[in-house]
Amino acid sequence: MTQATPTHTAASVPLVDGVQGIVADWSSDQRAFKNVPWGKAMMWIFLLSDTFIFSSFLISYMTVRMSAVEPWPNASEVFALTLFGKSIPLILIAIMTFVLISSSGTMAMAVKFGYEKNRKMTFILLLLTAALGATFVGMQAFEWTKLIHEGVRPWGNPMGAAQFGSAFFMITGFHGTHVSIGVIFLIIVAIKVYRGDLDNERPGFLTGRKGNYEMVETMGLYWHFVDLVWVFIFAVFYLW
């Protein structure tokens, strides 16, 4: 894999800001997205497509819920846990939210330390992010187990509208899959950082792309997106 030789023509054309800048960037030669590595631009475009997938799920959920004639199960009660002899509504989901937000915070800092070439801190923060992500998936597995024991199935449940189960398993399942894939990639990037692959521009195992610290930021975009989707799921699925 050879890297394209950077051309120096851009130096003669100063970048314009504002609305004119949009026109100038989009009509310019070779690259529409200035100042971003291509991997990052492509990750953004992937995330845009993923946004449409999750939005389709959430909008279908809205549609089936609005058209359901049986009462919808009350999320506040379904996801309540009994802690210290007291039933606390939605507590597991609240903890999961805090865990995922914390992992976003550690990820953002990993990106920052990555650009400073602080290998140790980047590695620790990436592993911490992965650990928080794994904790989130673990709690989700617990939640699924609990609901399945209570008789919730994709085709019906004892609490009310049958559509509750299908929407729940589909949406949280797809999100959980995203988190799991994210954890795997976080561990891979953490290993790369630890070995110094990003400093030494060592070619990647699968793609042969040279290592660099922009990878950490691209990884971060994906991870923050997973957190972003959870913000919407939390609001419309659990709080509605």
Provide the minimum distance between the beta carbon of 97 and other proteins in the complex, in angstroms, as a whole number. Answer: 5
Provide the minimum distance between the beta carbon of 30 and other proteins in the complex, in angstroms, as a whole number. Answer: 8
How many amino acids of this chain bind other proteins (CB under 8 A)?
A: 78
CB-based contact 184:133 (threshold 8 Å): no
Amino acid at 48: L
Name residues contacting other proteins, limited to 1-40 (CB under 8 A). 4, 6-8, 10-11, 14-15, 17-19, 21-22, 25-26, 30-38
139 touches other proteins by CB under 8 A = no
232 touches other proteins by CB under 8 A = yes
CB-based contact 89:79 (threshold 8 Å): yes
Cα(238)–Cα(90) distance, rounded to whole angstroms? 8
Contact region for other proteins (CB under 8 A) — 136-144, 159-167, 190-198, 219-227?
219-227
Of 42, 53, 59, 181, the residue at the interface with other proteins (CB under 8 A) is 59
Of 1, 69, 82, 84, the residue at the interface with other proteins (CB under 8 A) is 69
| Site pattern 199..218 for other proteins (x: CB under 8 A) | -------------xxx--x-
238 touches other proteins by CB under 8 A = yes
Provide the minimum distance between the beta carbon of 90 and other proteins in the complex, in angstroms, as a whole number. Answer: 5
Name residues contacting other proteins, limited to 145-184 (CB under 8 A). none
Residues 6+ apart with CB under 8 A from 106: 125, 128, 129, 132
Coil, helix or strand at residue 89: coil
Q: Which is nearer to other proteins, 28 or 180 (CB)?
A: 28
User: What are 205's two structure tokens?
Assistant: 């195992």
Q: Which is nearer to other proteins, 148 or 201 (CB)?
A: 201
Coil, helix or strand at residue 228: helix
Direct distance between the N- and C-terminal alpha carbons of the chain, in angstroms, rounded to an integer: 50
CB-based contact 145:192 (threshold 8 Å): no
131 touches other proteins by CB under 8 A = no
142 touches other proteins by CB under 8 A = no
Q: Which helix (H) or strand (E) holds 83?
A: strand 81-83
Provide the minimum distance between the beta carbon of 58 and other proteins in the complex, in angstroms, as a whole number. Answer: 9
Residues 6+ apart with CB under 8 A from 52: none
Name residues contacting other proteins, limited to 80-119 (CB under 8 A). 89-90, 94, 97-98, 101-102, 104-105, 107-109, 111-112, 115-116
* Three-state secondary structure string covering 59-85: HHHHHHHHHCCCCCCCHHHHCCEEECC
**Nearest in space to 239 (alpha carbons), one of 117, 75, 81, 125:** 75
